Amino acid sequence: MNFKVKEMCYCALMACMMAIFSQIKIDLPGYVPITLQTFMVCLIALIAPCKVAVSACVVYLLMGAIGLPVFAGFQGGMGSLLGYSGGYIFSFPIMVYVISK
């Protein structure tokens, strides 16, 4: 994929917005909190072109995988991805692709 500078900036901005919105959470008695992260995923899918939106979600996933505290509750690393909420996080690029199309 060839990205223009404008698309790369949009991708970075949307990944950062997902990281910010994921910190707004409501803790539940179980293990997975309610966050505004899913709202941001849907919003990104609606306002961005498909390849930019999917790339932003993949960048967000990779940011968390390398250990940056971007997931809910300032969590990061492979432990978060392999934990209880990892399935939700792995489904974000698929969700964005389906909504964008």
- Supply the CATH classification number for the domain 5-100: 1.10.1760.20
Would you kindly state where each structural domain of the chain is located, as residue ranges?
5-100
Reported pTM: 0.90
3-state secondary structure of 51: helix
- Provide the pLDDT for residue 59: 96
Residues, the chain: 101
* Integer CA distances (angstroms), 96 to 46, 75, 79, 89, in order: 8, 22, 23, 12
pLDDT of residue 3: 85
Average pLDDT, integer, range 23-52: 91
pLDDT in tens, 56-90: 999 999 999 999 999 988 999 998 899 888 888 99
The packing angle between helices 92-100 and 50-65, to 10°, is: 170
Q: Please, how many CA atoms are within 13 Å of residue 17, restricted to the half-sphere of its CB?
A: 16
Question: Using 50, 70 and 90 to split pLDDT, how confident is the model at 28?
Answer: confident
pLDDT band at 30 (very low <50, low <70, confident <90, very high): confident
**What is each CA distance from 92 to 5, 44, 71, 95, in whole angstroms?**
24, 11, 13, 5
CA-nearest of 12, 66, 72 to 39 is 72
